[in-house]
Amino acid sequence: MNMNRRQFFKVCSAGLGGSSIALMGFSPTAALAEVRTFKLARATETRNTCPYCSVACGVILYSMGDKAKNAKSRIIHIEGDPDNPVNRGSLCPKGAGLLDMVHSPKRLMHPEVREAGSSEWKRLSWDDALNRIAKLMKEDRDANFIAKNEAGGTVNRWMTMGLLASSASNNEGGYLTHKVFRNLGILSLDTQARI
């Protein structure tokens, strides 16, 4: 650092003056303690349903950012939705800890398949996964579909396939699930969401 004689004296006198004033009791007072700022003030709120059980409590996901193009959102807090008639804001311990499930390093983020005879899970795209499921379902249905029972009555059963539907379905989602899979002839149909 370059400093001439004049600047050196200036800095010295300013320092000495400042510290003397502080010593005489004119030091700036520490900022008065105050409540922590509210961390959700400008967070984006998104309504959702808790994924765990059939009660299907309403939750609000709070994320950073206001959805601007260059801002990447991340969920920073989750709590119960007070406007949801099911839980009116309350959540059980699992629901209250949803944030850590969302960000869990063990969370399944994409479709995976374990082929017959293999011991390893392999990642595949959503398209491939859906095509594969459709193909296998069709094969199985073609092979095992029962159109008529022994007495000759039409039954249209598909007894070798079962479906476990989402627990987070609403009435309409449940109705559609029921409609589609009963049409295919599936009888073993269950969900926590009480279709």
Partner 1 sequence: MALQSLDIKQRSATTTPSPSERQTVEVAKLIDTTRCIGCKACQVACMEWNDVRDEIGSVDGTYNNPTDLTSSSWTVMRFYEKENNSPFDLEWLIRKDGCMHCADPGCLKACPAPGAIVQYANGIVDFHQENCIGCGYCITGCPFNVPRISKKDSKAYKCTLCSDRVAVGMEPACVKTCPTGAIMFGSKEQMTEQAEHRIGELKGRGHGKAGLYDPAGVGGTHVMYVLKDADDPTQIGLPASPTISALVSVWKGFAKPLATLAMAGVALGSLFHYVTKGPNEVSKEIEDEIEKEDAQ
Which of 52/145 has CB closer to partner 1? 52
Other CB atoms within 10 A of residue 187 CB:
13
**Any idea which residue has 């709070």 for tokens?**
62
Residue 32 makes contact with partner 1 by CB under 8 A: yes
Which of 6/106 has CB closer to partner 1? 106
**Any idea which residue has 């295919």 for tokens?**
184
Of residues 49 through 78, those in contact with partner 1 by CB under 8 A are 77-78
Which of 99/189 has CB closer to partner 1? 99
Number of helices (H) and strands (E) in the chain: give both, helices first: 5, 8
- State in angstroms the smallest separation of the CB of 90 from partner 1: 5
Other CB atoms within 10 A of residue 73 CB:
16
Q: Which of 45, 66, 100, 190 binds partner 1 (CB under 8 A)?
A: 100
Which of 64/96 has CB closer to partner 1? 96
Other CB atoms within 10 A of residue 43 CB:
19
The C-alpha atoms of residue 165 and residue 171 are separated, in whole angstroms, by: 13
Strand, helix or coil for residue 158? strand
156 in Cβ contact with 183 (< 8 Å): no
- For residue 86, the one-letter residue type is V
Residue 35 makes contact with partner 1 by CB under 8 A: yes
- State in angstroms the smallest separation of the CB of 54 from partner 1: 15
Residue 107 makes contact with partner 1 by CB under 8 A: no
- State in angstroms the smallest separation of the CB of 78 from partner 1: 7
Contact set with partner 1 (CB under 8 A): 30, 32-39, 41, 77-80, 82, 87, 89-93, 95-97, 99-100
